[in-house]
Structure 1
Amino acid sequence: MLVAWMSENDTADWTIGVKFVLLRKNSSFNAGIKQSPYATLFGIEARIGLTSSSLPHDVIQKLQTEDDLLAILSSSSTQPDTQPLPETTQPLPETTQPLPETTQALTETIQPLPETTQPTSSIDKKRKLAIAAQQKQAERVVKRSRVIMKDGTVGDNVAVPIPSVDRGRGNPRNILGVILAVENGQYTIGCPSGILKGKYSRHQFDLCPQRLLSESDINSDSSVSLRQANKKESQHGG
């Protein structure tokens, strides 16, 4: 967005454009919190242009051209800001009750204010809505991940990706293995070269729809790293 602003305005001064970009991002609607970040923080939508001025909202809605704006500003400047106060002809009433002489009498005359419940501010309302929207979004993500990343069971065939730095161009991108054990969401995977070192999380491998290997095909006597397993199973030495 900043690059687009610099291209449109034919300038390389990004320090000026970053202010407009930040305002645009913070005032845009966010699908996660169901409102803009600006409204979540301050409780109101960002005021841009004439909406940030002291002009009434209904007056701004009626403006069509710059001449209309100049006419309203000129008319408001000609009107006096303050009205003269009316002269009071009646004298002030005389106080007949004496003032309390002691602090005890003073405290007796002061009545405590009634306790009133303060209404929730707009900022609190906006933030509560944002929290509720984020919780719903998190629930959807967890539900979707559970459908896509189905839990594996012992005996399932999996494909473990090999990093590009550890494989040659002629090597396969994955190593075929078998789930040997599952404990607290951590998987122990074995391949024909041996049992892979370390535990694997569910997002670190893909489940195979067919069982091409069984536990009898796994070399359970040795423990190898993913790089060593790739080197042993490679057709040209990894």
Structure 2
Amino acid sequence: MQDKKTDRWSEGLRFVQLTKIRAFHAGINRTPYEALFGCKAKVGLATSSLPQDVLQDIQTEEQLEEMIENVQTIPREETDSHLQETDTIAQEKKDETVLHDGRNQSHDEDMVTKEASISVICCVCLKETSGAYTCRNCGRKVHAICGHAIRDDRYEKMEGYEANILCNLCFNIDNAGKAKVESKLNLEIQEKRMKVDSDKQFLPARLGATVRVPVPDVDRGRGDARNLLAVVMSVRENGFYRLGTAQGVLNQLYARSGFTPCRKELIRIEDVPNQEIPLRSAAIAQSTGTRVS
């Protein structure tokens, strides 16, 4: 906003978003941009697709716009010559002669073959290439130094280096798919790590123990109690607890950090009705008009 000398805060939202998606996320072990697009965020001309030798000659924005137009807009006659395939023109000249036995026989077939000149363009640097290397996924021609060499067991039987080369676009697409899978696995690992850290801080609650469950502000009135008394009815394999009150069984599971055990047993499991109720209904039913700490 200071550079643009404006007071419109919306102008800075794109820069804030760029800063957030470029920040390293410890949960997914990469930046959000890399998890979505499979490559690092492109900032500035150094990370653009323009060749480095061209960037050295650019000094103004007008030169940059002109260079982008020249790259994106190729003359029609040049495009036709670059994309023209091998054209073979066969001309047959047949001279028929009548033999002594009355049969016709064709002879002297002259084949005139004319091959048109071909110019193949690399899909990455947009320069002429011999066409020896092709992207494994899209099939477009690419330089060996412009492509990305990969190792895939499915293509080990294919001979030649060109069997395991990808252009930038296909390489980023493959990386994006792998990054999404790895990000999901990293989040699951983070979840387990947080669960282990939480279990170390809080001792497990025993079956039948009376616990104190805090009631959120949105679920209680001004005169309602801050806490709710419940009893541990069961413990799941994933470490979550099923709690019951004198009015019924709470319809949600609780982590160990979601309640505090009491010293005395005030509620028994046998006293819990066999019906599920939400936390708000249980808090209203147990409310006595005084704040219980």
Identity of aligned residues (%): 20
Aligned residue for 1:177? 230
Letter in 1 for 2:33: P
Contact 1:190 1:218 in 2 (8 A): no
Q: Judging changes above 3 Å, is the alpha-carbon distance between structure 1 residues 152 and 23 closer, same or farther for their aligned structure 2 residues?
A: same
1:119 aligns with 2:173: no
Contact 2:29 2:186 in 1 (8 A): no
In the alignment, the residues of structure 2 paired with residue 237 and residue 172 of structure 1 have an alpha-carbon distance, to the nearest angstrom, of: 6
Aligned residue for 2:220? 167
Aligned length: 187
In the alignment, the residues of structure 2 paired with residue 154 and residue 166 of structure 1 have an alpha-carbon distance, to the nearest angstrom, of: 27
Greater CA deviation, 165-174 or 219-228? 219-228
Match of 1:48 among 34, 44, 64: 44
In the alignment, the residues of structure 1 paired with residue 47 and residue 273 of structure 2 have an alpha-carbon distance, to the nearest angstrom, of: 75
Aligned residue for 1:11? 7
Letter in 1 for 2:7: T
RMSD: 4.7
Aligned residue for 1:212? 264
Q: Judging changes above 3 Å, is the alpha-carbon distance between structure 1 residues 36 and 99 closer, same or farther for their aligned structure 2 residues?
A: farther
Q: Judging changes above 3 Å, is the alpha-carbon distance between structure 1 residues 23 and 163 closer, same or farther for their aligned structure 2 residues?
A: closer
1:141 aligns with 2:191: yes
In the alignment, the residues of structure 1 paired with residue 2 and residue 48 of structure 2 have an alpha-carbon distance, to the nearest angstrom, of: 26
Q: Judging changes above 3 Å, is the alpha-carbon distance between structure 1 residues 21 and 206 closer, same or farther for their aligned structure 2 residues?
A: closer
Structure 1 residue 130: Cα displacement = 5.5
Structure 1 residue 145: Cα displacement = 1.9
TM-score (norm 1): 0.52
Partner of 2:234, secondary structure, is: strand
In the alignment, the residues of structure 2 paired with residue 26 and residue 228 of structure 1 have an alpha-carbon distance, to the nearest angstrom, of: 42
TM-score (norm 2): 0.45
In the alignment, the residues of structure 2 paired with residue 200 and residue 190 of structure 1 have an alpha-carbon distance, to the nearest angstrom, of: 10
Partner of 1:181, secondary structure, is: strand
In the alignment, the residues of structure 1 paired with residue 53 and residue 20 of structure 2 have an alpha-carbon distance, to the nearest angstrom, of: 24
Unpaired stretches in structure 2, ≥5 consecutive residues: 64-109, 114-157
Unpaired stretches in structure 1, ≥5 consecutive residues: 74-97, 102-113
In the alignment, the residues of structure 2 paired with residue 223 and residue 35 of structure 1 have an alpha-carbon distance, to the nearest angstrom, of: 46
> In proportion to residue count, which structure has more helix?
1
Match of 1:199 among 251, 266, 278: 251
